[in-house]
Amino acid sequence: MRFIIQKESISDVLIRVQGLAGRKTSLAITENILIKTSENGIIISATDLETGFEGFYPALIEDEGEIAINARKLNEIVKSFPISEIHVQDMENRWVEISSEKVEYHLVGADPEDYPNIPRIENVDYFKMNSLSLKQMIEQMVFIAPRGEEKRPHIVGVLFERLEEEGQQVVRMVSTDIKRLAKVDYICDPESACKADKSILIPKKGLVEINKFLEEEGEVNIGVQGNHFVVKKENEIILVNLMEGDFPNFTPLLKQDPSLNIFFDKEFFLMMLKRMSILTSDNYKGVVFHFENNQLLMRTINASLGESKETIEINYGREPLELAFNPRYFIEAINFIGTQKVKMNIRDRESPCFILPDDESTNLHVIMPMSM
Amino acid sequence: MTKIKILPEILSNKIAAGEVVERPASVVKELVENAIDAGSDKILIEVEAGGKSLIRVSDNGCGMGRDDALLAIERYATSKIATESDLDNIGTLGFRGEALPSIAAVSRFTLVTRQADSDIAAKIFVEGGRIKSVGETGAPLGTMTEVRHLFFNTPGRRKFLKTTTTEIGHIVDVAVHAALARPDIRVRLVHNGRVARDFLPVSDPADRIADVFGPDIRPLLYPVKRPGESISISGWIVDPAMDNGSMNRIFIFVNGRHVKDRGVAYALVDGYAGRLMKGRFPMAVIYIEIPPGQVDVNVHPAKHEVRFVRPKEVHESIRSAVAAAWQSDPAPRDQDAGPRMGEDNSQTEFRTGPVFYGRTRVSEPDVPYDSGRRADMPGFGEKVMHRSKNGQPAKMPRKKPGLEPGQAMQAPIWERTGLLDAVLIGQFKNAYILCEIGDELVFIDQHAAHERILYERLKKKRDAGAIPVQKLLMPETVELGASESALIEEMVGDLATLGLDIEHFGDETFVIKSLPAMIADREIKPLLIEFASELAGDGYTPGLLAVMDKLTILMACHGAIRANQHLLEKEMRALISQLAECDNPFNCPHGRPTTTRWPLRTLEKAFKRIV
């Protein structure tokens, strides 16, 4: 196998596949990427056995064949390669030469026959989504990340739904760690070909990998085929194995009474929370919120560090209410609010608190209080 | 013709003997218990050939009349209980009425007994369960029971007898148990004509403990005292430096009866709270006084086991009694606390230093405390102090070899204030802080020490009751096994006080509505299953608290400075003074020592300045 490729054609993709190839598995071969020659270009494959990637990149093919080569080292070599034109060819005993006139690397390759197959996906009913919207949706899902050895499917995965609501096609994603929840809706373009279908669970890890390939502009094709969630760009395709398991029924939790709305200036509220969280620690995660007489008093009491308090004028005329929250949950949720005002809907110490933009837009964050 | 027959009595007695009379020591145990129940204050145990050829127990108790004596060797004949309700209120050690006939069924058995109101003693001779002769003889007040040729008519059983050394070891154990149970009774054991043990009556039970284990144990004893309406706990716990890999140095007496109970042993370990390494057990003598109705002793024919009606209460009483004992001062320590590390091994070179590889302890005696009294006896002396008879260190019980060096010297708890006087020398290998305290060179493991400091800080906050609780958006349902759910159901109230709001949802399903914030990121099901299995194993573990403790330890461990971290002088000083303020400065929360000490004398010996 021998080909010549421009550095620019593959430098991006090599960075993007590092997450897939870098994942520690018992199958050492997945630390490699597979490079196969094709007509007028090469096909690069990477997988961590849960998420698979395949992309086509133009190259000048001089001799056909395939190689499996260490993803991290190839990326470093390409990144620092002094000139644009890179020559790649295989040699005896699976050695791979990467060279230009003056630079020469010989890398130990792996047997391409051992490389796990990326499933062939055909006849997928794709629908279109705005790439940037999908990227932002995914970001709002994966920030509620599973910890450590977490195995519960509804925490490891994100619920992905396709619904028809009020005559519109809606893609809905929901993420939770059972202490909080984030829900984002995407209203599909009528031309997108999105159809209501059964809900699926997509692992958050796979979504993180997908996100690396999503551009800030244009559209992508989305499909669900068999056991896979598929994202297809013009020359690239990513498949994520779906998870088995149930997502708890969250709809009854989301009922809000509009009379309980409280409004904040987003930036100020965010800074206030950050000021209050300075004195929290792993052991003292809670900040006390005291609502009374059109005022919110926040305070942190941490026996080992000290105390802090701050007040803010708000619209609150109900009975005094005192409860505690993990301020990190608030900060992370409010960061995703796109409007200048934040709407908080809060009932009592036992009920979930809602954070949402003050327009009637599509994202919603739900946080359970703590008791101190 | 019927196939099923009632067994002749001699045969059934032989079968019963299989349960009660396992070995000579079981005979001694039954006879000694009878002697105690008879109100004796002197008990003489004479054995020959490890009890295989002769066991003779004489007491000065109340004795029996001729008719009673004859009845006593009938099965189910006893003076100790009369009605069924007595069985729920057993105040004596024996009660089954099985011991004497069982022993008589498998030996050549002589009973000589005289009551105070009679001048003549009754003498009964039984062989293999058949009464051969009944006569009269002159004898002192009390009862003498002689058992010769045990198992002479059950050759199968006889084959299973171990060597004389082993059997006498078990008999010594029985004598020691009796001695610890009743310090007011004189217990004398004679083997092959030589006095093996002679415990004189004492008024302070601690003296009896010192008699049993050697006088050097005295300064290491912490008294345990927890009088209670239903359960009273008393006794002594021994400094954790005397720890052990097994439970066999935990002596538990329930209403005067020596029993083995894992639950009590674990309660003790809980009371040691971090002073012991995982898998190590303390040395302790614990007396539990509990109304007879609250404990079932009729679990095992030899009554080794008991069951408590309310095991959790017993567990908590013991744990808190032991925990409180650390607040008290140990028995006063002798000014010259005896030999120090390596003292009896003057050939030791510093470099190879077996002194640092054995489990040498601060107050280990250099001669067996009981030497001369019983040169041929195995038993407690060796077990406790790891000494053989010639005074050389015997083979030590091995732990993981890698752990040995660090355990050379673990400072006893009452010397914590010494840390305040530490003169800093410096840091070794960026891992150990060296300082001088009095006449000792002290090494402090910086990671272990800091871990202890952080752990105590976190624990204080946790114990202050301010456990922040994270409510769950979606209550989590957990399915448990049948036995686990029964146990968890009982604990629902306890768990709620720790912030784990859990509700029984029918059958084996539970719903969790909130979690302590500290563990909110953990999956709760495995934790619940772990408590439940611990509960099932011990009968009573304060489950979640223990797991919260594990988590506290984990957090302390992650927050603590590591080895291979250079510390400034200021930092080292701060670490030492914070360590000195800890409740238990001498162990990290995992139980490893934080400090190890080299006395000046060891160095002087290494340099041959003294020999």
**A2-114 shares its CATH topology with A127-249:** yes
Asked if the structure places residue B115 within a domain, the reply is yes
A279 touches chain B (CB under 8 A): no
B80 touches chain A (CB under 8 A): no
Nearest CB to B468 within list A151, A179, A372: A372
CATH architecture of A255-367: Roll (3.10)
Q: Are B468 and A177 a contacting pair at CB < 8 A?
A: no
Q: A344, A371, A339, A347: which is closest to A355 by C-alpha? A: A344
Asked if the structure places residue B52 within a domain, the reply is yes
Asked if the structure places residue B33 within a domain, the reply is yes
Whether the Cβ atoms of residue B552 and residue B455 lie closer than 8 Å to each other: yes
Q: Are A368 and B468 a contacting pair at CB < 8 A?
A: no
Nearest CB to A283 within list B458, B470, B521: B458
- How far is the alpha carbon of B532 from chain A, nearest alpha carbon, in Å? 21
Beta bridge partners of B148: B54, B108
A369 touches chain B (CB under 8 A): yes
Q: Are A177 and B521 a contacting pair at CB < 8 A?
A: yes
Q: Using a CB-CB distance cutoff of 8 angstroms, which residues of chain B are in contact with residue A147?
A: 521-522
Q: Are residues B123 and B37 in the same domain?
A: yes
Whole-number average pLDDT of chain B? 75
Entry pTM: 0.56
Asked if the structure places residue B251 within a domain, the reply is yes
Q: Are residues B211 and B62 in the same domain?
A: no
Q: Are residues B250 and B183 in the same domain?
A: no
Q: Are residues B213 and B159 in the same domain?
A: no
- Distance from C-alpha of A65 to C-alpha of A87, rounded to nearest angstrom: 14
Asked if the structure places residue B275 within a domain, the reply is yes
What's the burial of A166, exposed, middle or buried (CB within 10 Å: 0-12/13-18/19+)?
exposed
B476 touches chain A (CB under 8 A): yes
Chain centroid to Cα A168, Å, comes to 25
Q: What HEC string does A37-100 produce?
A: EECCEEEEEEECCCEEEEEEEECEEEECCEEEEEHHHHHHHHHCCCCCEEEEEECHHHEEEEEC
B471: left (phi over 0), alpha (psi -120 to 50) or beta: beta
Q: For B87-134, where are the alpha helices, taking DSSP H only?
A: 99-105
- How far is the alpha carbon of A293 from chain B, nearest alpha carbon, in Å? 26
Domains of chain A by residue range: 2-114, 127-249, 255-367
Q: What is the pLDDT of residue B330?
A: 57
Q: What is the pLDDT of residues B419-428, one digit of tens each?
A: 888 889 999 9
Nearest CB to A372 within list B466, B476, B518: B466
Nearest CB to B472 within list A285, A303, A368: A368
CATH, residue B241: 3.30.230.10
Q: What is the pLDDT of residue B328?
A: 67
Asked if the structure places residue B2 within a domain, the reply is no
Whether the Cβ atoms of residue B282 and residue B276 lie closer than 8 Å to each other: yes
Chain centroid to Cα B256, Å, comes to 15
Beta bridge partners of A341: A265
**Count of domains forming chain B:** 3
A128 three-state secondary structure: strand
Q: Are residues B94 and B186 in the same domain?
A: yes
Residue at a domain's end among B544, B559, B574: B559
Q: Are residues B140 and B71 in the same domain?
A: yes
Whether the Cβ atoms of residue A264 and residue A355 lie closer than 8 Å to each other: no
B281 token code pair? 């057990």
A261 three-state secondary structure: strand
Asked if the structure places residue B368 within a domain, the reply is no
Nearest CB to B474 within list A149, A248, A326: A248
B405 has pLDDT over 70? no
More confident residue, B215 or B339: B215
More confident residue, B441 or B538: B441
**Top CATH class, A2-114:** alpha beta
- Distance from C-alpha of B379 to C-alpha of B52, rounded to nearest angstrom: 18
Q: What is the pLDDT of residue B547?
A: 63
Q: B258, B257, B213: which is closest to B237 by C-alpha? A: B213
- How far is the alpha carbon of A311 from chain B, nearest alpha carbon, in Å? 23
Q: What is the pLDDT of residues B439-451, one digit of tens each?
A: 888 899 999 998 8
CA geometry: angle A186, A188, A191, nearest 5 deg = 170
Domain residues for the domain of B519 are 465-559
B568 touches chain A (CB under 8 A): no
In this complex, how many residue pairs, one in chain A and one in chain B, have their CB atoms less than 8 Å apart? 67
- Please tell us whether the domain made up of A127-249 is placed in CATH 3.10.150.10: yes
Residue at a domain's end among B559, B574, B593: B559
Q: Are B474 and A253 a contacting pair at CB < 8 A?
A: yes
Q: Are residues B209 and B189 in the same domain?
A: no
State the average pLDDT over residues B562-568: 83
Which range scores top for mean pLDDT: B126-140, B273-287, B289-303, B491-505?
Answer: B126-140
Q: Are residues B221 and B132 in the same domain?
A: no
More confident residue, B372 or B11: B11
Q: Are residues B223 and B294 in the same domain?
A: yes
Nearest CB to A179 within list B461, B464, B472: B472
Q: Are residues B91 and B166 in the same domain?
A: yes
- How far is the alpha carbon of B466 from chain A, nearest alpha carbon, in Å? 7
Closest residue of A to B458, CA-based? A283
Q: Are residues B226 and B290 in the same domain?
A: yes
More confident residue, A367 or B485: A367
- How far is the alpha carbon of B420 from chain A, nearest alpha carbon, in Å? 23
A 10 A CB-CB count for A147 gives: 11
Q: Are residues B185 and B233 in the same domain?
A: no
Nearest CB to A370 within list B461, B471, B474: B471
Eight-class DSSP state of B506: S
State the average pLDDT over residues B62-89: 75
Asked if the structure places residue B349 within a domain, the reply is no
| Substitution target from B470, B511, B555 for chain A, most A beta carbons within 10 A | B470
CATH, residue B112: 3.30.565.10
Mean pLDDT of successive 10-residue stretches along chain A, which has 372 residues: 94 92 76 93 92 94 94 94 94 92 92 88 89 94 86 92 90 93 92 88 95 92 92 94 91 87 92 91 81 93 84 92 91 91 91 89 89 76
